[in-house]
Amino acid sequence: MTAAGVVAYALLGGGALLALVRVALGPSLLDRVVATDTLLVIISAGLAVHAALTRDPTVVPVLVVVSLLAFVGSVSIARYIGGMLLKSSAGDGSDVGLPVAAEVREGDR
């Protein structure tokens, strides 16, 4: 393990850890979607760094799958929430069981 590898993995791990903190904190479902998307990208970047540093192309097909999976996941969750919004008469989903919007909570302070 060279020094460059240690530095690259430390940067990637720090980014992944901060994205995980955002996944845990929320506050809304879409924040978690964005953070999970970023986390998947960081994971695929880590796989690519591993492949590059060891000159081992075994994990390269995994990168293709992971990059497509992130797209499908975030789009399906966005469409799911969009479908729930259509059933709400208030227009923002607050009357069909979706949690309180971020604007309302943070705007009150």
Partner 1 sequence: MTALVDVVAVACLLAGALLCLTAGMGLLRFPDVLSRMHAGTKPQVLGVLLIMVGAAIRLHGWSASWMLLLVAAFQLLTAPVSAHMVSRVAYRRRHVRRDLLLVDELRSSGQDRLYRGDEPADAPPEEPGAALAESRERDEAP
Residues forming contacts to partner 1 in the complex (CB under 8 A) are: 4, 7-9, 11-12, 14-19, 21-22, 28, 30-31, 33-35, 37-38, 41-42, 44-45, 48-49, 51-53, 55, 57, 60-61, 63-64, 67-68, 70-71, 74-75, 77-79, 81-83, 85-86, 89, 91-93, 98, 101-104, 106-107
Work out how close the CB of 106 gets to partner 1 at its nearest, in angstroms, rounded to a whole number.
Answer: 7
Work out how close the CB of 1 gets to partner 1 at its nearest, in angstroms, rounded to a whole number.
Answer: 13
Work out how close the CB of 73 gets to partner 1 at its nearest, in angstroms, rounded to a whole number.
Answer: 9
Report the candidate in 96, 69, 89, 81 with the shortest Cα–Cα distance to residue 29. Answer: 81
Report the candidate in 2, 23, 27, 3 with the shortest Cα–Cα distance to residue 103. Answer: 27
48 vs 55: CA distance, rounded Å: 10
- The answer to whether 42 and 12 are in contact (CB under 8 A) is yes
- If 0-12 CB within 10 Å is exposed, 13-18 middle and 19+ buried, where does residue 23 land? middle
